[in-house]
Structures are given as structure tokens and as C-alpha cells.
Amino acid sequence: VQLVESGGGLVPAGGSLTLSCVVSGFTDDGYVIAWFRQAPGQEREGVSSINIADDITDLVDSVKGRFSISSDKARNMVYLNMNRLKPEDTAIYYCTGTPLPVHGLRVAQFEYWGQGTQVTVSS
């Protein structure tokens, strides 16, 4: 399994970014893709997830109303659309996946990780 993120960058507060994750290696649609982020000196935290089989999504409270997650199965892509960005959203964002059912957004549930993409929101 390979996960490759792109789309990070520097954006002013209130701006928008869309992160992309190219997914390869899963044998069918029965997998979950999530986005996590890690700010300097902080633990990695879950942001959002999507079940590719049924498009059920999950968002952490701090990004509800601002972020959304979507997938394009034909292109094997998962997107994290981020709007009304805040300086506290600054972090390295990681795409991660697992073929197993997940409950919530916990690092230990996900076994495949991308290399991460930096998002910096200036105040």
C-alpha cells in the first residue's frame, strides 16, 4: 500500500487549501482513509476519515464546518478540503489508511502512512 500526499503550502488565515492523497495497493474498496496532523511538539491527531466502500465520513469537532473529506474512487484519490483556515491548523498533514474497520480517529488503528505535507497558516 502506498499513500502520497500533496497540496500543502503557506496560506493566510481565512484562506483555503485542498490536500490530495493518491492511494494504491488496497485490493478492494473495503478500506478507510484518514487525515491526521501533527504540529511541532504535539501529538499526532486525527482530523477526518472516509470509508471508501460507503462514503461514510468522520470529522473531529475542531474542523467541523470548515473541513470536508471526499474521495474519487475512479482516480484512487482522497481529498481534504480545508476552508477558513486558522493559524492553529498549522501542522504536517498525513494521509493514512487501513483495510480494517475503525472506531474514531486513533493513530494505532492505521497501519499505512504517507510522508506528510506541510500546511502553514499565517496570522
**Average confidence (pLDDT) over 3-28:** 97
Please, what sign has the CA dihedral across residues 32, 60, 35, 39? negative
What confidence score (pLDDT) does residue 29 get? 80
What confidence score (pLDDT) does residue 28 get? 85
CB 45 within 8 A of CB 82: no
DSSP symbols for 12-52: ETT--EEEEEEEE--SSS--EEEEEEE-TTS--EEEEEEET
d(CA 10, CA 122): 7
For 18-46, the pLDDT digits (tens) are 999 999 999 888 899 999 999 999 999 99
Residue 27 identity (one-letter amino acid): T
For 45-74, the pLDDT digits (tens) are 999 999 999 999 999 999 999 999 999 999
For 74-123, the pLDDT digits (tens) are 999 999 999 999 999 999 999 999 999 999 999 999 999 999 999 999 99
What confidence score (pLDDT) does residue 1 get? 97
What confidence score (pLDDT) does residue 78 get? 98
Q: Coil, strand or helix: which one is 93? A: strand
The cell numbers describing 25, all together, are 495497493
Could you tell me whether strands 45-51 and 2-6 are parallel, antiparallel, or unpaired per DSSP bridges? unpaired
